[in-house]
């Protein structure tokens, strides 16, 4: 589903070159639920933005669903983001001027879907996250947990094959975090591939596989995921 080999990402400013990722290798299979852990600044978010085609990379190769993405132009990348990928951000990133319904609708409109189908999908997605009754509310009128569930509904509504989540519970209390995690597990059971960055060892432990990133490189801990993930995750806050 998602395969990076010898991938490098360099951020250049006038004075410094930062290797956010170097010789980064990862292979996420279709239907996997992978948790990515690592210290702050190790390159987790960078990895996720490249994986989600939000950013280009400097070297190496990245195949998404069998396609070498460095060849794609901006419009093709937009189309893939829209159709194959669902994003969940730590800061929820709902559009404050739009109500819940309209927020969930955003990616569906970019897909050019007809109104009745959009409505059906939006209500289904909101039903799943338990917020169907809040469709006319604005983000500011919802709690953090509810906002993140709306964001998940937005990611779900387009039935993406790949769900990318960057610390989806980072801004939530334990209770709410658990609810969000349960939702993700449910989505995973239904067949979606999920890559989730987290520093919460408890959540990482519930993924099928943990990938640990240090200094822009993957340290594969798949042999003994639970144990190691736990240890490293405790040092990671970002």
Q: How far is the CB of 41 from Mg ion (least distance, A)?
A: 8
Does the footprint of Mg ion cover residue 49 (CB under 5 A)? no
Among 5, 25, 40, 222, binds ligand ADP (CB under 6 A): 40
Of ligand ADP, other proteins, Mg ion, none, which one does residue 20 interact with (CB within 5 to 8 Å by kind)? ligand ADP
The Cα 62–Cα 3 span in angstroms is 6
Of the candidate spans 24-32, 36-44, 87-95, 153-161, the one that interacts with ligand ADP by CB under 6 A turns out to be 36-44
Helices (H), 5-143: 44-51, 74-84, 100-110, 115-128
CB 162 within 8 A of CB 195: yes
Percentage helix, strand, coil, to 5, in the chain? Answer: 40, 25, 35
Residue 41 near which of ligand ADP, other proteins, Mg ion, none (CB within 5-8 Å, type-dependent): ligand ADP
> Within 13 A of 71's CA, how many CA atoms are on the CB side?
5
Q: Could you tell which of other proteins, Mg ion, ligand ADP, none binds residue 40, using a CB distance below 5 to 8 A set by kind?
A: ligand ADP
Name which of 45 and 193 has its Cβ closer to Mg ion: 45
CB 219 within 8 A of CB 20: no
42 binds Mg ion (CB under 5 A): no
Report the distance separating Cα 203 and Cα 205, nearest Å: 5
Q: Which residues bind ligand ADP (CB under 6 A)?
A: 11, 18, 20, 38, 40-46, 238
Q: Which residues bind Mg ion (CB under 5 A)?
A: 45, 238
């Amino acid at each position: 589903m998602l395969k990076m080999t010898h991938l490098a990402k360099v951020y250049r400013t006038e004075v410094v070159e930062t290797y956010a990722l170097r010789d980064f290798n990862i292979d996420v299979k279709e239907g996997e639920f992978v948790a990515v852990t690592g210290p702050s600044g190790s390159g987790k978010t960078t990895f996720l933005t490249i994986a989600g085609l939000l950013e280009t990379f400097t070297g190496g190769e990245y195949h998404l669903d069998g396609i070498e993405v460095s060849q794609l132009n901006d419009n093709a990348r937009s189309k893939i983001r829209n159709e194959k990928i669902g994003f969940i951000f730590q800061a929820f990133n709902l559009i404050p001027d739009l109500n819940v319904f309209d927020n969930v609708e955003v990616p569906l409109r970019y897909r050019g879907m007809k109104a009745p189908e959009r409505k059906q999908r939006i209500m289904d997605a909101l039903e799943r996250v338990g917020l169907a009754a809040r469709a006319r509310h604005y983000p500011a009128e919802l709690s953090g947990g509810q906002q993140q569930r709306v964001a998940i509904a937005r990611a779900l509504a387009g039935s993406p094959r790949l769900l990318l989540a960057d610390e989806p519970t980072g801004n939530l209390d334990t209770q709410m975090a658990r609810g969000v995690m349960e939702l993700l597990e449910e989505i995973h059971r239904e067949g979606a591939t999920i890559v989730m960055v987290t520093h919460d060892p408890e959540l990482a432990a519930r993924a099928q596989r943990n990938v640990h990133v240090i200094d822009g490189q993957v340290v594969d801990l798949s042999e003994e995921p639970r144990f190691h993930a736990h240890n490293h995750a405790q040092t990671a806050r970002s």
